[in-house]
């Protein structure tokens, strides 16, 4: 294909409606374009992008803190003088921040010192999820910047202690990352929001669409049928324990899709997280629980952990699984909803996430092999690794998997 034809085809994609392209194709196009850009980008341009790239998030955070998006979105036009008056901030400073915001396509300067927002700007109003994610990102940005000095002092080996890793070094705190977040309501809110947002990948499946949970639901329904007169014992057993479940979004999704499931669903997390839950649908309970302590619910049908173990090094991950193991009954299963690190040819996002986990928690993104070794060392056997339909082992795309395990039957 001639270069001009290829460029024309790509430009036609730019003008097409995003909704006309399936999400799976969007992800593949993005990865292919990223590889093309990396191949043809000059070293000078790459250095410029790396040097100045972090300032995009910083400029967004400054604009969020000054409430520039809040004052501008919904207005036809807004002047620099108005923004200065409304925010109480210096006009020159606002203009310097806005230059970067404009370059990102969120504002337009329609006249000298007169601006209007683009539709994308709404995503960065104070209460919007994207704004909260930017807050979390910029609060923890010093951790990544500290990695060269940390490893120069400590030696070039992966940290293994979650309270003595680059996070504590950078933030100058003895607290675990989660405890540091919990100490500030603003940080906790931003973190909770980030955990609620589902990152779009090649296939955006929910865990119960990847794992055939209906087989357990049907078996449980059969077991409940005929129990006592009028079914008085129905629903008293625990069907699902969502361990480290945050504000319950995973369980709410599950209950919405399976409203007739027999048995209770319980969302567990630490007190600062549970206290932020304002309402839960009927059939879902919230329980304060630290998963590094013994599991209080015995013989549930499913013990579910979504993206929990990637926050913990092997020692603590083993403790978490050990408490689950000790609470399980003969028919219980444990389901781990995780993003598996490819055994080879990992994408930049997958590799970057792994380094992020190392820096923040002394943890890692595990491969299927590493998960199997971890589970088997605790006394589990892996029944099946269920993957999204378009996700294959060894590919560079991020993809969700649900690892099904049970107590080892010797």
Q: What amino acid positions are annotated as catalytic residues?
A: 310
Contact (Cβ atoms closer than 8 angstroms) between residue 118 and residue 103: no
Q: Which long-range contacts (CB under 8 A, 24 or more apart) does 179-185 make?
A: 182/270, 182/272, 182/273
Contact (Cβ atoms closer than 8 angstroms) between residue 321 and residue 378: yes
407: which 2 tokens?
């107590």
Distance CA 271, CA 288 (A): 5
Nearest residue to 116 (alpha-carbon basis) of 63, 73, 170:
73
Strand partners, 407: 380
Measure Cα distances from 46 to 14, 39, 40, 42, 288 in Å. 23, 11, 10, 6, 47
Distance CA 206, CA 218 (A): 19
């Amino acid at each position: 294909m001639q270069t001009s034809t290829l460029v024309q085809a790509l430009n036609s994609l730019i003008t097409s409606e995003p909704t006309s392209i399936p999400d799976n194709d969007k992800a593949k196009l993005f990865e292919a374009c990223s590889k093309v850009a990396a191949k043809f980008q000059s070293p000078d341009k790459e250095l410029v992008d790396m040097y100045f790239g972090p300032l995009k998030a910083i400029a967004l955070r400054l604009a969020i803190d000054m409430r520039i998006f809040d004052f501008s979105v919904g207005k036809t036009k807004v002047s620099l003088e108005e923004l200065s008056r409304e925010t109480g901030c210096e006009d020159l400073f606002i203009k310097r921040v806005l230059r970067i915001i404009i370059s990102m396509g969120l504002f337009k300067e329609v006249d000298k010192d007169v601006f209007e927002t683009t539709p994308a700007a709404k995503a960065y109003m104070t209460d919007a999820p994207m704004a909260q994610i930017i807050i979390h990102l910029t609060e923890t940005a010093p951790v990544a910047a500290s990695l060269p000095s940390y490893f120069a002092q400590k030696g070039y080996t992966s940290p293994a202690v979650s309270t003595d890793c680059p996070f504590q070094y950078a933030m100058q705190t003895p607290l675990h990352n989660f405890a540091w977040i919990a100490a500030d309501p603003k940080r906790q809110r931003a973190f909770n929001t980030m955990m609620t947002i589902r990152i779009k990948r090649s296939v955006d499946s929910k865990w119960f669409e990847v794992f055939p949970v209906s087989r357990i639901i049907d078996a449980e329904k059969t077991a409940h049928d005929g129990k006592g007169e009028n079914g008085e014992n129905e629903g008293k057993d625990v069907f699902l324990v969502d361990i480290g479940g945050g504000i319950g979004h995973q369980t709410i999704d599950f209950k919405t899709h399976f409203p007739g499931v027999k048995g209770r669903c319980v969302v567990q997390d630490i007190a600062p997280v549970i206290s932020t839950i304002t309402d839960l649908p009927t059939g879902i309970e919230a329980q304060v629980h630290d998963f590094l302590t013994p599991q209080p619910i015995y013989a549930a049908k499913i013990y579910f952990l979504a993206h929990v173990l990637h926050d913990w090094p092997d020692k603590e991950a083993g403790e978490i699984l050990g408490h689950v193991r000790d609470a399980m009954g003969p028919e219980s299963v444990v389901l781990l909803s995780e993003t598996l690190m490819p055994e080879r040819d990992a994408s930049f996002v997958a590799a970057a996430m792994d380094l992020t986990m190392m820096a923040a928690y002394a943890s890692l993104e595990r491969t299927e092999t590493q998960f199997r070794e971890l589970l088997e060392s605790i006394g589990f056997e892996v029944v099946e690794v269920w993957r999204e339909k378009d996700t294959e082992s060894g590919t560079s795309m991020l993809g969700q998997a649900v690892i099904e395990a049970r107590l080892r039957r010797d």
